[in-house]
A and B are shown apart, each in its own frame.
Chain A
């Protein structure tokens, strides 16, 4: 026994003495720390090849594609002047002769396109290449009416975003907002990029807080059209719907995900609490019961929880209501005024506006109350944040340039820019879910 112990001990000492220098050598690598130089993915979008030859069309198609991708904040569009050879000149769009020429100008990705027009019809081919891997990632061919050209390009952009990020993006979504350009606060809708603005309401009164149903076919909002703040529930296509009207305030409707049901803040009982309503405007279950103003409901993507604002602790703060157990937990503690919550489509964060030291800024907080971060700083009053359907961007209103306008930014607060310019002031933007729409609607 003693002999074995001595042998084992001796072997261990021998092993240690012999092998230690080699361990030390392998641990002595010279590791250099680097950080990213560019925060976006560099992509090249040369002019399309057009048949018959139409320089304006080929340039226009490439511009639409570039603008759409650049809007997302994911991409850095490289300048045409740097391109080694343009497929619209070489005529080759289905393959790339020398990927090295594209990586040499810094492109990680390349999109080539070709469009063939025949009267009112077009045929379009679009391809996404990975210039580093030297492979084609996506190849699509579309046919349609010339009026749908832009929508077709957007559809390909969705494919690109889906391939690279795993989500389908927001190119087929719209944004509802309030504008007083006509002298009255009415609700308007526009595309995700601020284009194709349409007036939705004509109440000639005060209309507020639009909210999209989860199928993006219905819009609910508050209007003083009949003197009292009532809730209007209307279908987008024919504006048919119902009105919920009770004594007191009926405000801030929010749709329950996946259901023809919404929650709203009602004060007919004397205390302003949150109730469920049917899509046909009938009163449902009362959700909150605590004394104080409860308002601005916003549901989690799975509908199991609801964020709302309550003054039960003295100042407006955001709380989370569990739809199953009915338990309420306070979410925000920083600042004395936190309102207008919107639950992220990914379910992990809530964006809201916070008043702190006489500044109103957009903040994001995890649903566990951690990782609060401020997205806007020193740029006027920033309010009414709303998530894009893929959670990558946020739309909000701000008076940073004087009047209230609609702005957008990435979910990390970068790329803040104005969405549109309209007469009057705009506020209360609400980003729709993805619209399952036809190319020609």
Chain B
């Protein structure tokens, strides 16, 4: 009895910390349960369903898809006419790219002497206004109730709002592969590149859903919506790649250079913002990729069925594909 009393006494002394521990434990369990409930919704996000990196190197694509006819290696055309893109429209207001007024070079008044080098008059240095893209922080994906609805239903709802005629034509991935012949060719092997990229994405989606059904989200519509976004992103990436001119000599033959640039595209296809997630360390290379993104503007409009205020694309740019 004395022992019991002693034990009880000891428990009285430890009662308060134990209570705190139990309360914290309960809170944690409740939070964990809440997260587990909401977690499937967040997993519907295409980012989780897809692999983190999709390689769309024009060379590797030809090798990765044996079921598709062999894709010839991309050939740099002799003239850049094939690279021609539609004339870019003005930037949106939040992208201040304005040419500064340029000072006129001062004329040299001295009479030229055959033995003296006519000294060129240096114009006042023109300071190109640096484009400072406001890095848009990636919004944390919040579980939204409408995400749980099948995408097919959303398409039906939006048809009421947006007339079909004005919607940009963008078919579902399964049909796109079949219809690539109808798309006006923009250059050599572009169709093959996109076709392979789409096939890769479909393969990845299939693999992801097959390996873990819980990650792919409920229903086929979720997968297709995710694939639709990814196909669109790859389409944008291919367009930037086709506009990316990069001199090996300028970069000093450092093949290990690598950076990540992000940009967002509005539903109309207009470039909204550019930012660097990670700079390569080589200013020329960073500038060349930024130019490629700007030259690619305007992009293709958002595909039908994609309801986002803007689409963000992240490109890992590297000169490794050179001199292959």
Any B CB within 8 A of the CB of A412: yes
B307 part of interface (Cβ distance < 8 Å): no
Chain A interface residue count, Cβ-Cβ cutoff 8 angstroms: 79
Q: Are A165 and B250 in contact (CB under 8 A)?
A: yes
Q: Write out the residue numbers on chain A whose beta carbons fall within 8 Å of the beta carbon of B85.
A: 103-104, 106
Q: In the assembled complex, which residues on chain A have CB atoms less than 8 Å from the CB atom of B249?
A: 72-74, 165, 392, 410-412
Picked from B99, B105, B240, the residue with its CB within 8 Å of the CB of A125 is B105
- Do A17 and B245 touch across chains, with their CB atoms under 8 A apart? no
Chain A residue at minimal CB-CB distance from B89: A100
* Given A14-B31, A100-B88, A104-B86: A28 and B128 interface contact (C-beta under 8 Å): no
Which of B58, B112, B117 is A35 in contact with, Cβ under 8 Å?
Answer: B58
Of the candidates B103, B122, B295, which one forms a contact with A132 in the assembled complex, judged by CB atoms under 8 Å apart?
A: B295
Output the least CB separation between A256 and chain B (Å). 27
Give which listed residue, A95, A108, A140, contacts B291 with CB less than 8 A: A108
List A245-271 residues whose CB lies under 8 Å from chain B: none
A interface footprint on B309-320 (CB within 8 Å = 1, 0 otherwise): 000111111111
* Nearest CB of chain A from residue B212's CB, rounded to whole Å: 15
Identity of the chain A residue whose Cβ is nearest the Cβ of B53 in the assembled complex: A31
- Does B94 sit within 8 A of A, measured CB to CB? no
CA distance A74 to B164 in the complex (A): 47
Q: Are A103 and B295 in contact (CB under 8 A)?
A: yes
Chain A 92-112 residues near chain B, CB threshold 8 A:
94-95, 98-101, 103-108
**B2 at interface (Cβ–Cβ under 8 A)?**
no
Nearest-neighbor residue (CB-CB) of A96 within chain B:
B99
B168 contacts the other chain (CB 8 A): no
Q: Do the beta carbons of A13 and B314 come within 8 Å of each other?
A: no
A31 adjacent to B314 (CB under 8 Å):
yes
Which residues of chain B have C-beta atoms less than 8 A from A130's C-beta?
128
The answer to whether the Cβ of B102 comes within 8 Å of any Cβ in the partner chain is yes
B74 within 8 Å of A (CB atoms): yes
B31: nearest chain-A partner, CB-CB = A17
Q: Which of B20, B25, B53, B80 is within 8 Å of A3, CB to CB?
A: B20
Contact A34 B248, beta carbon cutoff 8 Å: no
The 5 closest A-B pairs by CB, nearest first: A35-B321, A10-B24, A36-B246, A106-B80, A28-B47
- B residues neighboring A (CB under 8 Å): 16-17, 20-21, 24-25, 27-28, 31-32, 35, 39, 42, 45-48, 50, 52-59, 74, 76, 79-81, 83-89, 97-100, 102-108, 110, 112, 114-118, 120-123, 126, 128-129, 131, 138, 140-141, 230, 233-234, 237, 240-250, 253, 260, 277, 288, 291, 294-295, 312-323
- 11 additional A-B pairs beyond A10-B24, A38-B80, A106-B85, beta carbons within 8 Å, are A30-B54, A32-B315, A35-B317, A37-B76, A37-B83, A39-B323, A78-B80, A82-B79, A133-B131, A141-B121, A438-B117
A residues touching B (Cβ–Cβ < 8 Å)? 2-3, 6-7, 10, 13-14, 17-18, 21-22, 25-42, 72-74, 76, 78-79, 81-82, 94-95, 98-101, 103-108, 121, 125, 130, 132-145, 152, 155, 159, 164-165, 392, 410-412, 414, 438-440
